[in-house]
Amino acid sequence: MRRVNLGGSDGLEVSQCGMGVMSITAFYGDPIPDEDAIELIHKAVESGCSFFDTAEAYVAQHPVTKELLWNEEILGKAVAVIGRDRVEIGTKFGGRSAMTGPAAGDHMKQACHAALKRLQTDTIDMYYLHRVDPNVPIEETVGTMADLVREGAVKCIGLSEASPDVISRAHAVHPIACVQQEWSLYTRDLEEDIVPVCRELGIGIVPYSPLGRGFLSDDMVAPANDARQMFPRLMGNAFEANKILRAKVAAMARDKGCHTAQLALAWLWKQGEKLGVDVVPIPGTTKIRNVQSNCSAVDVPISDVELAELSSAFDDVVGERGFEQYMSSTYKVTTNAKEKPKG
């Protein structure tokens, strides 16, 4: 699989297709057993994927044992078995719901060291701010992240759900290697504002939910019976209307002899190429056959005609990309305190 430098030559080299591990322990159905998770991640590595994505916020109670399942811990266990030098680890700090303190200073440093422990490593390859802290100037947050780079705890810095203004201000303090942002056939708002600033500053883009939380595949036949049921596009009438739009993409995939999910991923790489940004999606899965299929999507060619056809497939998508509380910490809504003038 092709390798991509997120953030250019001083950034982080990762596989062109990454993998999100969140759903192994939480939010999209029941957690899978540890040994299955380790095998899944191992198979991903054997398929050429080396870039794995988790977060401090991905913590949930086991439905039966009630113990706390930290998603970072299962990735750490898998990496310990597979070999640290075969993977790049991406994890994120805080997030509105997980933010127990400010996104800067000692609190952030302690959180980073706790993540290192859960991940069983001494360096995080890509450390992201999960959601922008409205009360802490981004310069201060990135200043702390830069300290973590100097300490060797972190190699590169990323942001998630950051506005173009926040991205530029952050990049002026320390190079931002990538921005993690929802991007898929049916979520394309970032193309008009975040993509241009990333292109200008040489920042890579890591699309999250590149398969629309599973909707952009052949498998989701009914609204998901888990955290996804709160997402407006996957609810009731909206789900039915969006299914009609998806059918066109599914028919194109059948004609090309690939899966719908593969076409959705292949579109992202091609669209990134067209817009002049490096794109490394991180599809999440709990199944070996799906991770193998997602990795093979790097070989699905997309013509310019197909690109145009796919790009218009969800022009009439029904429903917001997230529910109200979710949207309240996304990049178009979150404000960020300005730095106090010095002196």
**Residues in 243-282 at the binding interface with ligand ATR, rule: CB under 6 A:** 259, 261
Q: In the complex with ligand ATR, which residue's Cβ is closer, 106 or 218?
A: 218
Q: In the complex with ligand ATR, which residue's Cβ is closer, 20 or 90?
A: 20
Q: Does 285 bind ligand ATR (CB under 6 A)?
A: yes
Number of Cβ within 10 Å of residue 87's Cβ equals 23
Q: Which residue in the set 58, 208, 239, 314 belongs to the binding site for ligand ATR (CB under 6 A)?
A: 208
Q: In the complex with ligand ATR, which residue's Cβ is closer, 93 or 208?
A: 208
Q: Does 22 bind ligand ATR (CB under 6 A)?
A: yes
Q: Does 213 bind ligand ATR (CB under 6 A)?
A: yes
178's tokens: 């990538």
**Residues in 79-118 at the binding interface with ligand ATR, rule: CB under 6 A:** none
Q: Are 282 and 206 in contact, with CB atoms under 8 Å apart?
A: yes
**Spatial distance between the Cα atoms of 198 and 60, rounded to a whole number of angstroms:** 33
Told to judge if 58 belongs to the known catalytic residues of this protein, a careful annotator would answer yes
107's tokens: 């609190």
Q: Does 54 bind ligand ATR (CB under 6 A)?
A: no
CB of 161 to ligand ATR, least distance (A): 13
The one catalytic residue in 28, 58, 127, 186 is 58
Q: Does 242 bind ligand ATR (CB under 6 A)?
A: no
Which window, 17-25, 132-140, 192-200, 311-319, contacts ligand ATR (CB under 6 A)?
17-25
37's tokens: 């998770």
DSSP per-residue string spanning 73-91:
HHHHHHHHHH-GGG-EEEE
Q: Does 234 bind ligand ATR (CB under 6 A)?
A: no
Q: What torsion do the CA atoms of 318, 247, 287, 119 make, to the nearest 10 degrees?
A: -30
Q: Which residue in the set 7, 16, 25, 28 belongs to the binding site for ligand ATR (CB under 6 A)?
A: 28
User: Total residues at the site for ligand ATR (CB under 6 A)?
Assistant: 23
- Residue with tokens 């070989």, as numbered in its chain: 299
Q: Return phi, psi of residue 336, to 5°.
A: -140, 130
User: Cα dist. 171→38, 159, 328, 332 in Å?
Assistant: 35, 10, 24, 19
Q: Which residue in the set 10, 35, 106, 219 belongs to the binding site for ligand ATR (CB under 6 A)?
A: 219
134's tokens: 């409205």
Q: Does 286 bind ligand ATR (CB under 6 A)?
A: yes
Q: Does 287 bind ligand ATR (CB under 6 A)?
A: yes
Residue from 338, 18, 302, 320 nearest 178 by CA: 18
Q: Return phi, psi of residue 46, to 5°.
A: -65, -25
Query: What are the catalytic residues?
Result: 58
The site for ligand ATR (CB under 6 A) is made up of 20, 22-23, 28, 208-214, 217, 219, 259, 261, 283-287, 290, 293-294
